Amino acid sequence: MSLPPPPPLPQEEEIPELEIDVDELLDMESDDTRAARVKELLVDCYKPTEAFISGLLDKIRGMQKLSTPQKK
């Protein structure tokens, strides 16, 4: 008695690359504006984004914008 072939392995879904410019977010006036911008960037994401956005904004609050060193 032969066994049937195993089912094919599920294909790993292709994850599109996304770049979020943190400096751009730091330049914005409020968390609401930042959240709106990130939602805009994630518009094609079919998974829930609220927790990601909330966590990202929490991290950004503790950051300062990096400035390029001034030449003397």
Please tell me whether the overall predicted TM-score, pTM, comes out greater than 0.85 for this model. no
* One-letter amino acid for residue 27 of the chain: D
Is the confidence at residue 66, as pLDDT, over 80? no
Residue 4 has what pLDDT? 78
Is the confidence at residue 61, as pLDDT, over 90? no
Residue 68 has what pLDDT? 56
Percent of the chain with pLDDT over 90: 39
Helix axes 31-41, 50-61, angle to 10 degrees: 130
Is the confidence at residue 45, as pLDDT, over 90? no
- What is residue 47's DSSP assignment? S
Give the pLDDT band of residue 9 (cuts 50, 70, 90). low
